[in-house]
Amino acid sequence: MNIAVFASGNGSNYEAIAKAINARKIKANLAVLICDKPEAYVIERAKKYNTPTHIIKLKDFNNKEEYEKKIVEILKPLNIDLICLAGYMKICDKTLLEAYPNKIINIHPALLPAFKGAHAIADAYNYGVKVFGVTIHYVSPEIDGGKIISQGVIDYKETDNIEQVEEKIHALEHILYVDTINKLIGGNK
Ligand code: GRF
């Protein structure tokens, strides 16, 4: 089983996956990290785990389609079985979705279908919800709208401030992503 991770930023979810693979808690190969931001901290993390990394910047291409074609060109020879988006701040378009149908998953820091979008934790907190959680879903053309694979909730206390909620959500993400990948790849190696 060959896994690709796509990330644009901090990379704590990338690291949770890389660590689990190193420890054989996920029995798969972390074949590649695709990153669209040269300054992203995830690139530093990937060096620690020797994950082959490709930095692909949209602005180096004429359009999104050519950008995604380049990514597919990198992935194809690696026989990728599963693509895990982990804070990848771009919408997956047709080229990627058609090359990897039902093989691209995303982690979202809210209980979908509530609080879609890039500011889910703050949106949920400011709304005043009392149940917070994480969703892992298949990626479809609709943003944060694909079929749900798994969800989990945090242990929220009324006294938690937003930083505490964020911390609990991220801790849950790291566990749920590893568990979910394992469920999807089954007993395969
Ligand atoms: C996570 O909260 C994830 O749910 C969302 O983006 C964030 C990425 O965090 N899609 P990190 O870069 O993995 O630390």
3-state secondary structure string, 119-136?
CHHHHHHHHCCCCCEEEE
- Residue 109 clears pLDDT 70, i.e. is over it: yes
The Cα–Cα gap between 11 and 105 comes to: 16
How many angstroms does the Cα of residue 116 sit away from the middle of ligand 1? 13
How many angstroms does the Cα of residue 118 sit away from the middle of ligand 1? 10
- Residue 172 clears pLDDT 90, i.e. is over it: yes
Domain ranges in the chain are 2-184
- Residue 26 clears pLDDT 70, i.e. is over it: yes
CATH number of 2-184: 3.40.50.170
Q: Helices then strands (H, E): number in the chain?
A: 6, 7
For ligand 1, say whether the CB of 12 is within 6 Å of any of its atoms.
yes
- Residue 55 clears pLDDT 90, i.e. is over it: yes
Ligand 1 nearest atom to the CA of residue 8, by list position: 12
Q: What is the predicted pLDDT for the residue at 132?
A: 98
Residues 6+ apart with CB under 8 A from 29: 1, 2, 3, 21
Among protein residues, the one whose CA lies closest to atom 1 of ligand 1: 87
For ligand 1, say whether the CB of 133 is within 6 Å of any of its atoms.
no
User: pLDDT tens for residues 80-90?
Assistant: 999 999 999 99
Q: What is the predicted pLDDT for the residue at 186?
A: 86
